[in-house]
């Protein structure tokens, strides 16, 4: 790369083809790497012309040190995909420790802001969150004790229920620990342990007697992936009860499951808005709702239809390019499944063509 930069960073035919800003950046990069490599060459230079060759033990010690440095450079932080939940593990999902630590609502109230700020908690349903809360364990740590050290394997998230802890860090193995900050009641630490099979970035010590709530990665993974699996089976059951989707093959249903999302609406909220150019196909799972048309003359809304479990609405824009001339309002708290027309078309195809597999279904819905 340096040779290439030397050849092409000047003027001439090649240089004229580079924009001025890019050329300046390349020159800066070349200067940076020259300094970097010159420094590394000096540090790695072991035997000079005026020195005696190193002994075997001394050379072995240097080789080991260099090998450790190379391993650190090559280290790649693994992601959550490195921790797949296998079928044999899924069978044991219900066996995780569900030790109760007081009232779940009290825990949630205390750490509400924290749960809403951590992305792996804030999108959980209330049932999922309750299940997570029930899986936290209580740990009592005495003042001055080390909770974990920098470089140890990370496998737990901690919430501080009582007391204070201090965070320490060292940049190099030979450096002393440097104080970073103090965390107090209501704070959390070790969050990345739930997502990554990684090492601790800090050394954590108890500044006072501390009560911690801990959740390990395996338990979190079991709960979340188990819920995803159960949710997927539930979605599949719902889709099979929807007449307009009964022409789909098993493979197509599997694709639709990937783009199906659940939404919750409170009583009185609008599930479908009038004159909104949306392409959502909506299936009612729980609760009751109705469609109505609002008059431009100020008259009372006209009730069009009341929907029951597994009935659907919003399908007309899938066949015709037009805005909706009605609204759908929740009569009670409702749970619905939503499928995007754009995503459905990309993954499965045009619904109109799929309906042609069963003439009676095609004729029924194409007349609308």
Q: Is the pLDDT of residue 27 over 80?
A: no
What does the DSSP assignment read for 271-315? Answer: EE-TT----EEEEEEES-EEEEE--TTSPPPEEEEEE-TT-EE--
Confidence of residue 212 (pLDDT cuts 50, 70, 90): very high
Q: Roughly what angle, to the nearest 10 degrees, separates helices 217-240 and 250-259?
A: 120
Q: Compute the distance between CA of residue 338 and CA of residue 32 in angstroms, rounded to an integer.
A: 53
Give the number of C-alpha atoms closer than 13 A to the C-alpha of residue 172, restricted to the C-beta side. 3
Question: Do the domains at 87-222 and 243-366 have one common CATH topology?
Answer: yes
CATH fourth-level superfamily of 87-222 = Jelly Rolls (2.60.120.10)
Count the Cβ atoms, other than its own, within 10 Å of residue 164.
Answer: 16
Joined tokens for residue 120: 């792996």
The string of pLDDT tens digits covering residues 237-279 is 999 888 888 889 999 998 999 899 888 899 999 998 877 756 8
Confidence of residue 208 (pLDDT cuts 50, 70, 90): very high
**What spatial distance separates the first Cα and last Cα of the chain, rounded to whole Å?**
65
> So what's the pLDDT on residue 164?
96
> So what's the pLDDT on residue 29?
65
* CB within 8 Å of 276: residues ≥ 6 apart: 323, 324
Q: Is the pLDDT of residue 37 over 60?
A: no
Residue 96 is given by DSSP the state: S
* CB within 8 Å of 125: residues ≥ 6 apart: none
What does the DSSP assignment read for 272-284? Answer: E-TT----EEEEE
Architecture of domain 243-366: Sandwich (2.60)
The residues spanned by each domain of the chain are 1-45, 87-222, 243-366
Confidence of residue 329 (pLDDT cuts 50, 70, 90): very high
**Angle made by CA atoms 241, 245, 249, in degrees to the nearest 5:** 105
**Residue 8 backbone dihedrals phi, psi, to 5 degrees:** -115, 0
> So what's the pLDDT on residue 14?
44
Q: Compute the distance between CA of residue 261 and CA of residue 235 in angstroms, rounded to an integer.
A: 9
Q: Compute the distance between CA of residue 205 and CA of residue 140 in angstroms, rounded to an integer.
A: 13
Residue with more model confidence, 52 or 359:
359
The string of pLDDT tens digits covering residues 51-108 is 444 455 555 555 555 555 444 433 344 433 344 444 444 444 444 444 444 456 677 7
Length of the chain: 368
Residue with more model confidence, 74 or 125:
125
């Amino acid at each position: 790369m340096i040779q290439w930069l030397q050849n092409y960073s000047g003027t001439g035919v090649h240089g004229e083809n580079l924009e001025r800003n890019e050329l300046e950046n390349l020159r800066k990069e070349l200067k940076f790497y020259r300094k970097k490599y010159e420094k590394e060459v000096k540090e790695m230079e072991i035997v000079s012309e005026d020195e005696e060759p190193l002994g075997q033990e001394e050379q072995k010690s240097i080789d080991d040190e260099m090998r450790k440095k190379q391993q650190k450079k090559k280290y790649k932080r693994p992601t959550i995909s490195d921790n797949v939940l296998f079928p044999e593990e899924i069978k044991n999902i219900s066996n995780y420790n569900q030790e109760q630590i007081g009232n779940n609502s009290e825990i949630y109230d205390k750490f509400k802001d924290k749960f809403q700020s951590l992305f792996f908690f804030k999108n959980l349903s209330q049932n999922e969150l309750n299940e997570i809360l029930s899986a936290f364990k209580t740990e009592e740590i005495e003042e001055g004790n080390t909770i974990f050290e920098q470089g140890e394997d990370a496998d737990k998230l901690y919430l501080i229920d009582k007391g204070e802890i201090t965070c320490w860090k060292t940049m190099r193995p030979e450096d002393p620990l440097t104080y970073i900050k103090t965390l107090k009641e209501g704070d959390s630490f070790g969050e990345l342990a739930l997502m990554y099979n990684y090492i601790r970035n800090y050394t954590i010590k108890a500044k006072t007697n501390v009560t911690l709530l801990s959740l390990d990665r395996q338990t979190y993974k079991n709960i979340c992936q188990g819920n995803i699996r159960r949710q997927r089976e539930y979605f599949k059951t719902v889709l099979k009860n929807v007449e307009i989707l009964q022409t789909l093959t098993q493979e197509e249903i599997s694709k639709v499951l990937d783009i199906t999302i659940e939404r919750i609406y409170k009583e009185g909220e609008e599930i479908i808005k009038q004159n909104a150019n949306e392409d959502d196909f909506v299936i009612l799972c729980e609760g009751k709702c109705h469609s109505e048309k609002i008059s431009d003359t100020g008259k009372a809304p006209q009730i069009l239809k009341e929907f029951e479990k597994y009935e659907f609405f919003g399908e007309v824009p899938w066949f015709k390019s037009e805005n909706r001339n009605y609204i759908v309002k929740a009569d009670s708290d409702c749970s619905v499944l939503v499928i995007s027309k754009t995503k459905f078309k990309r993954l499965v195809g045009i619904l109109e063509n799929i309906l042609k597999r069963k003439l009676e279904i095609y004729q029924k819905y194409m007349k609308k």
